[in-house]
């Protein structure tokens, strides 16, 4: 075991005059130490500010306040306050209904487009005055575009087809596994319902079907209506109402089917019911 004495002996004797290198090293150590100290000082002050921000005078949720008559620190919204993105002033567009309670017959234009102005931003859409201000029931039909219907198809296949089936016949996978079977979209009653009705069913639910308002935004709900209409047409179109080109294709297909089977070609009224 080493004694203190032996340890002291092991330390090399100091030089009478330090070398240049040693001097430099000492200077560097001093500089680094000064920097470290400075940084530590900074850190202490930052923490202090953070704590001060955390502890500043403020009300916690539901805290009592002596300032207000009802002693609630949480103040009610001033009347007429609208959360950003929730103005929904355009009744036909946002509810699918008119103030009479009737359903809007056709898919309405979104409010921003109905006024003819291009929305500059999301905020513009929310804050602009809609024609609803003048007439709460004013609406204009939305022109159909392939893009709009395609969006509806995509959303329908995601949100509706699990129950209603991709054809809208009510034979979705969940139904095949035991969920209540919805009625087919191709029955006459639903074919004759106004567009607003489908929007309403999606927004508020129907019988055993839950509301899809929280999952499918308003614009997408209308796009789905457009696609449901397309589905209905796909199962109940009258030949004479189709574009000439499509009629020719259908005629050829019918003739081919006629050749291949001994059954009468069906020129009856479109099927009703499920």
Q: Can you give the binding site for ligand HEC, defined by CB under 6 A?
A: 159-160, 162-164, 174, 179-180, 182-183, 198, 201-202, 206-209, 212, 216, 224, 228
Which CB, 59 or 206, lies closer to ligand HEC? 206
Which CB, 114 or 223, lies closer to ligand HEC? 223
Q: Smallest distance from the beta carbon of 156 to ligand HEC, in angstroms?
A: 6
Q: Smallest distance from the beta carbon of 101 to ligand HEC, in angstroms?
A: 16
The number of angstroms, rounded, from the C-alpha of 26 to the middle of its chain's C-alpha atoms is 64
Q: Smallest distance from the beta carbon of 150 to ligand HEC, in angstroms?
A: 16
- Nearest residue to ligand HEC, using CB? 207
Which CB, 126 or 220, lies closer to ligand HEC? 220
Whole-angstrom distance, CA of residue 66 vs CA of residue 61: 15
Which CB, 182 or 196, lies closer to ligand HEC? 182
Which CB, 78 or 273, lies closer to ligand HEC? 273
Q: Are 87 and 127 in contact (CB under 8 A)?
A: yes
Nearest to 24, CA basis, from 35, 32, 12, 14: 32
Q: Smallest distance from the beta carbon of 161 to ligand HEC, in angstroms?
A: 8
Nearest to 184, CA basis, from 234, 240, 250: 234
Could you tell me the sign of the dihedral formed by the alpha carbons of 146, 236, 140, 129, in that order? negative
Burial class (CB in 10 A: 0-12, 13-18, 19+), 162: middle
Strand partners, 64: 72
Q: Smallest distance from the beta carbon of 102 to ligand HEC, in angstroms?
A: 15
* Residue in the block written with tokens 């009737």: 102
């Amino acid at each position: 075991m080493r004694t203190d004495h032996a340890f002291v002996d092991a330390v090399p004797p100091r030089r009478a005059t330090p070398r240049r290198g040693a001097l430099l090293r000492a200077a560097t150590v001093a500089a680094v130490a000064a920097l470290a100290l400075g940084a530590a000082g900074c850190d202490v002050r930052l923490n202090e500010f953070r704590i001060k921000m955390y502890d500043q005078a403020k009300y916690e949720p539901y805290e009592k306040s002596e300032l207000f008559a009802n002693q609630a620190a949480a103040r009610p919204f001033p009347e007429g306050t609208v959360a950003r993105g929730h103005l929904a002033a355009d009744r036909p567009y946002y509810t699918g209904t008119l103030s009479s309670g009737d359903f809007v017959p056709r898919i309405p234009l979104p409010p921003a487009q109905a006024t003819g102005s291009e929305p500059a931003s999301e905020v513009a859409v929310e804050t602009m005055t809609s024609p609803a201000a003048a007439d709460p029931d004013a609406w204009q039909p939305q022109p159909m575009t392939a893009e709009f219907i395609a969006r509806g198809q995509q959303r329908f296949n995601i949100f509706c087809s699990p129950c209603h089936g991709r054809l809208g016949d009510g034979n979705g996978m969940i139904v095949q596994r035991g969920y209540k079977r919805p009625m087919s979209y191709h029955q006459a009653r639903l074919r004759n319902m106004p567009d607003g009705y489908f929007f309403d069913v999606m927004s508020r639910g129907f019988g055993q079907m839950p509301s899809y308002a929280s999952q499918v935004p308003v614009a997408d709900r209308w796009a789905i209506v457009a696609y449901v209409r397309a589905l209905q047409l796909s199962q109940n179109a009258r030949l004479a109402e189709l574009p000439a080109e499509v009629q020719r294709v259908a005629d050829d297909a019918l003739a081919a089917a006629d050749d291949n089977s001994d059954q009468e070609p069906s020129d009856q009224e479109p099927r009703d019911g499920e």
